């Protein structure tokens, strides 16, 4: 008998899953093939079963998976309207740096203390998805020393805690059909470490806005060039709007690749988008985040991670049941009103057509 402190696996779609030692960030596109959408729908609806199957082998490893769905396939996949703010990631173009928009229909954010559990869960899920999807990007992240990124700074301490966490990450009454879900933005950055290491510690700290050794915040600049910490803090009408980051380093010393995988969960998508605009365009415009001189954005996608209940119900038959006795069916005198495909929960924005 094992001495697990947990009795059950972590529920799917838990955006606040514990910090993990490793993670897989898997971005997929759905193929334009007969039956592909149906396969993806049924697989995602059954993620909880796959998670139980793998996670139960070591509950203390806290295997979790968060599924995100992109705007391009939301309508076909869920057969309903889209969350109010969901749209394709818009490229952010600054004077010197660009945050590109890259393809992505489905995101799987797989986290655990053990690499083998992430591997096995990913393998089983991809077996079920088969040729219905194409892998756009697979990044394996790891937790580095003292929760630091590869630039040497502690990453993620600005995350909200307590009640501020669900308040900042989970959609509420403002979009009731999608309450409990969360917007997710992912970006893959690579770093020229040799150039970064050529800076003095004081220069690095001025760019980040924190002390390198003890992570203490430095004072904000009153005017002119602002630090990464200041540009990535969103304050509107005196209220600070937080997001949850679960960034992870990735890379290969042998391959010369060093990077940070950014993943942000937010109740309001515009918070992350404004953050990126301040970083890439600058505030004031022209004074971009100096961290971008040492961090190149390679990808950029937006997803919505629905609640676990929403995800599980996606494969339910959405068609209304007909009368028990076909003979009792009434032929309407005029054509019925066209179905709007909604969930009957109000007029919400529909997802873009697939192209």
| Catalytic option among 16, 155, 242, 246 | 155
The Cα 233–Cα 200 span in angstroms is 25
What does DSSP assign to residue 113? Answer: S
Distances (CA, A) of 180 to 167, 183, 205, 210, 304: 10, 10, 37, 33, 11
Q: Which residues pair with 184 in a beta bridge?
A: 265, 303
Taking a C-beta distance cutoff of 8 angstroms, is the pair 184, 300 a contact? no
Residue with tokens 């996606």: 314
Reply yes or no on whether 155 is catalytic: yes
Strand ranges (E), 248-309: 248-252, 257-266, 296-297, 301-305
What does DSSP assign to residue 342? Answer: -
The two tokens of residue 262 are 């950014």
In the chain, which ranges are continuous DSSP H helix? 36-45, 47-55, 71-78, 115-129, 164-169, 193-197, 201-208, 228-231, 269-280, 308-313
> Which residues are identified as catalytic?
155
């Amino acid at each position: 008998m094992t001495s697990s402190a947990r009795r059950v696996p972590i529920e799917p779609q838990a955006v606040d899953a514990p910090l993990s030692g490793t993670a897989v960030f898997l971005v997929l596109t759905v193929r334009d093939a007969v039956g592909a959408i149906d396969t993806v729908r049924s697989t995602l609806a059954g993620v909880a079963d796959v998670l139980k199957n793998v996670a139960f082998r070591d509950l203390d490893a806290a295997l979790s998976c968060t599924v995100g769905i992109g705007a391009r396939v939301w309508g076909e996949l869920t057969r309903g309207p889209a969350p109010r703010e969901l749209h394709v990631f818009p490229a952010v173009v600054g004077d010197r740096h660009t945050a590109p928009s890259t393809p992505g229909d489905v995101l799987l954010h797989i986290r655990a203390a053990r690499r083998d559990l992430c591997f096995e869960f990913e393998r089983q899920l991809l077996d079920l998805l088969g040729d219905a999807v194409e892998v756009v990007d697979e990044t394996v992240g790891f937790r580095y020393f003292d929760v630091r990124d590869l630039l040497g700074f502690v990453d993620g301490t600005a995350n909200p805690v307590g009640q501020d966490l669900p308040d900042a990450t989970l959609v509420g009454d403002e979009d009731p059909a999608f309450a409990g879900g969360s917007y997710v933005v992912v970006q893959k950055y690579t770093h020229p470490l040799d150039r970064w290491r050529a800076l003095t510690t004081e220069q690095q700290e001025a760019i980040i806005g924190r002390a390198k050794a003890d992570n203490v915040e430095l004072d904000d600049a009153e005017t002119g060039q602002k630090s990464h910490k200041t540009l990535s803090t969103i304050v509107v009408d005196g209220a600070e709007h937080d997001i949850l980051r679960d960034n992870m380093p990735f890379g290969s010393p042998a391959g010369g690749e060093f990077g940070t995988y950014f993943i942000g969960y937010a109740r309001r998508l515009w918070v992350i988008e404004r953050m990126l605009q301040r970083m890439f365009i600058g505030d004031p415009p022209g004074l971009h985040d100096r961290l971008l001189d040492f961090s190149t954005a390679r990808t950029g996608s937006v997803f919505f991670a629905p609640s676990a209940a929403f995800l599980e119900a996606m494969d339910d038959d959405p068609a209304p049941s007909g009368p028990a006795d076909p003979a009792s069916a009434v032929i309407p005198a005029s054509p019925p009103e066209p179905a709007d495909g909604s969930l009957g929960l109000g007029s919400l924005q529909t997802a873009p057509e697939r192209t």
